[in-house]
Amino acid sequence: MSALELAAAIRSGERSAVDVLEEHLAVIDAREDEIHAFNLVMVEQARREAADVDARLAAGEELGPLAGVPVALKDNMCTRGVPTTCSSKILAGWKPPYDATVVQRLAAAGAVIIGKTNMDEFAMGGSTENSAFGPTRNPLDTSRVPGGSSGGSAAAVAAGFAPLSLGSDTGGSIRQPAALCGLVGVKPTYGRVSRYGLVAFASSLDQIGPFAATVADAALLLEVISGHDPLDSTSIAEPAPGLLSVLDQGVEGLRIGILDELSGHGVEGISPDVLARLDAAVEALTAAGATVERASVPATVYGLSAYYVIAPAEASSNLSRYDGVRFGPRTDGATTNEMMMATRTEGFGDEVKRRIMLGTYALSAGYYDAYYGKSQKVRTLILKDFAEAYEKFDLLISPTAPTTAFPLGDKTEDPMQMYLQDVCTIPSNLAGHPAMSVPFGVGDDGLPVGVQILAPAMGEATMFRAAAVLEKSGGAQ
């Protein structure tokens, strides 16, 4: 049952929120040991919330659009009084003193928060193997990764632990796991969704977005969490976009560009079976009345290089706050400095250390202009080239990830190979544009392939129309 159907059944009294929750908890009981999607299943709190929804509905109260629907949260979103770890030892046991804005909006919509999901530590990774609490496995094939960094949120929906979840996307961390788990995953326009209470990784790139099994469910969840928030100074002063209302509008007359630089021409490692699914998506969109042509956004070829300077640079600054003084565990030292060094050395995993050092280096005297300064200029070129492409096209499409889900351990020894997973998703983060992954069939190994739809800033509604067409075309099977 989709989240929309569940919500309707609960609202009409056909199902109770408590029953719906218990059904999902039973699925978690049966498979969570094998999948490890969660850092924490919030059993008691979720039961209280579900019972509350039932009581209020029985009393005739008008509840929000997600009333009684279980939602899983990536473990980098603050939940008051409930551990929020970012899958890092350095935040083990930390209980935030406030709720993230998205958590407040979910509560206001009547959602039942079912748990906090596993992730690559501080959202740094593409496989959820960088978690201090062990990897998450892909529910479709447990020898494979679910993608990352929001792998726990993707696995939770793919395994039927929750119909909806939230992830965060800094370089592809929602879209790539959505593709690898056969789900819809959306990175909204930068500023669309408040980041108040999202633990910061790279502040000029991070954005929260939904995972769902269907395009309509993703639209529903994104409508609930979008909109201006005075607590986030980067929040766009616009109301939430109407998405559910546009899903049946089709793509007749839309101009869609196949993003050349991300579709096989000179892109490292994009697999032929993934490109074959992109071709099938082009056929489906053309059949539905869109004009599809090849499009060029030349500077996107430099996206990966620029990203792996900019994101670590911002992370090295954001993560300086973890020093054993105000929160999290402390490793003792004779002096404050020794204590801080021991705490950070003990608390951070290798990938986080790697990125902190990379960012510190890229920002240090003598290297700043060569790396960080140059990367910021490349970002300008990417924005300019996208703007030119969007003069001719309403939307762009590309693969989401270069391959289907890969085996655990495949890329853990070679960070650069892992980073290449993000090659198609990074440009939208650098530009601040929305992009989403829609499942569109399977590769040679029978595992899901995602097609990425990219739109200009604030272009979510048009993007969702194309996603709905792909879903309806039947090519997803």
Partner 1 sequence: MTDPISRDDVAHVARLACLSLTDQELEAFTGQLADILSHATDLEALDLTGVEPTSHPLPLVNVLRPDVPGEPVDRDEVLAAAPSVEDHQFRVPPALGDNA
Hey, which residues between 103 and 162 contact partner 1 (CB under 8 A)?
none
Residue with tokens 């800094």, as numbered in its chain: 170
Q: Which of 210, 179, 151 is nearest to 441 (CA)?
A: 179
Cβ proximity to partner 1: between 201 and 308 the closer is 308
Tell me the closest approach of the beta carbon of residue 220 to partner 1, in angstroms.
26
Given the complex with partner 1, which of 255 and 374 has the nearer CB atom? Answer: 374
Shortest distance (Å) from residue 42 CB to partner 1: 18
- Determine how many CB atoms are found less than 10 A away from the CB of residue 135: 22
Specify which residues 442 forms β-bridges with: 448
Confirm or reject binding of residue 374 to partner 1 (CB under 8 A): yes
Give the nearer residue to partner 1 in terms of CB position, either 98 or 249: 98
Task: In angstroms, give the least distance from the CB of 272 to partner 1.
Answer: 24
Provide the terminal-to-terminal Cα distance of the chain, rounded to the nearest Å: 17
Give yes or no for a cis peptide into 203 (omega within 30° of 0).
no
Minimum distance, C-beta of residue 231 to partner 1, in the bound complex (Å): 9
Q: 290 or 356: whose CB is closer to partner 1?
A: 356
Which CB atom, from 37 or from 340, has the smaller least distance to partner 1?
340
If one asks whether residue 236 binds partner 1 (CB under 8 A), the answer comes out as yes
Q: Does 211 bind partner 1 (CB under 8 A)?
A: no
Nearest to partner 1 of 352, 467 (CB atom): 352
334 touches partner 1 (CB under 8 A): yes
Amino acid symbol at 364: S
The footprint of partner 1 on residues 247-276 (CB under 8 A) is none
**Positions of E strands within 96-221:** 112-117, 164-169, 184-187, 207-212
Smallest separation (angstroms) from partner 1 to the CB of 117: 21
Instruction: State the Cα–Cα distance between residues 188 and 432, nearest whole angstrom.
Output: 9
364 binds partner 1 (CB under 8 A): yes
Is position 40 an interface residue for partner 1 (rule: CB under 8 A)?
no
Minimum CB distance to partner 1, residue 363 (Å): 9
* d(C-alpha 200, C-alpha 315), whole Å: 8
Annotated catalytic residues are: 74, 149, 173
Q: Does 101 sit near partner 1 (CB under 8 A)?
A: no
Considering only residues 4, 174, 309, 424, which one is a binding residue for partner 1 as defined by CB under 8 A?
A: 309
Binder of partner 1 out of 378, 396, 401, 435 (CB under 8 A): 378
For 80, counting Cβ atoms within 10 Å of its Cβ (0-12 exposed, 13-18 middle, 19+ buried), the class is: middle
Identify which range of 62-70, 245-253, 376-384, 393-401 contacts partner 1 by CB under 8 A. Answer: 376-384
Taking alpha carbons only, the member of 117, 233, 132 closest to residue 181 is: 117
Instruction: Considering the complex, state which of residue 191 and residue 475 has its C-beta at the smaller distance from partner 1.
Output: 191
Q: Which of residues 413-472 bind partner 1 (CB under 8 A)?
A: 415-416, 419, 430-433, 457
Distance CA 192, CA 473 (A): 29
Pick between residue 305 and residue 473 the one whose CB is nearest to partner 1. 305
| Shortest Å, Cβ 301 to partner 1 | 8
Exactly one of 9, 107, 342, 461 binds partner 1 (CB under 8 A); that residue is 342
Q: Should residue 358 be labelled a site residue for partner 1 when binding is judged by CB under 8 A?
A: yes
Among 124, 181, 216, 306, binds partner 1 (CB under 8 A): 306
By CB under 8 A, is residue 360 in contact with partner 1?
A: yes
233 interacts with partner 1 by CB under 8 A? yes
Supply the minimum distance, in Å, between the C-beta of residue 366 and partner 1. 8
Residue 370 is a binding residue for partner 1 (CB under 8 A) = yes
| Angstrom distance (rounded) from CA 88 to CA 327 | 13
Using CB under 8 A, which residues numbered 275 to 304 contact partner 1? 301-302, 304
Q: Read off the DSSP letter of residue 301.
A: G
Q: Which two tokens stand for residue 111?
A: 């959602």
CA distance 188 to 141: 29
**Using the rule CB under 8 A, which residue among 275, 329, 368, 442 binds partner 1?**
329
Task: In whole angstroms, give the CA distance from residue 228 to residue 193.
Answer: 7
Classify residue 224 by its DSSP letter. H
Q: Please, what is the Cα angle at 477 between 160 and 279, to 5 degrees?
A: 130
427-to-258, 283, 300, 310, 446 alpha-carbon distances in Å: 14, 25, 6, 12, 28
| Strands (DSSP E) found in 372-434 | 395-399
The alpha carbon dihedral of 178, 180, 181, 184 has a sign of positive
Local structure of residue 319 (DSSP, 8 states): G
CA distance 208 to 187: 7
Secondary structure element (H or E) that encloses residue 281, with its range: helix 272-287
Among the residue ranges 112-120, 126-134, 164-172, 306-314, the one whose residues contact partner 1 (CB under 8 A): 306-314
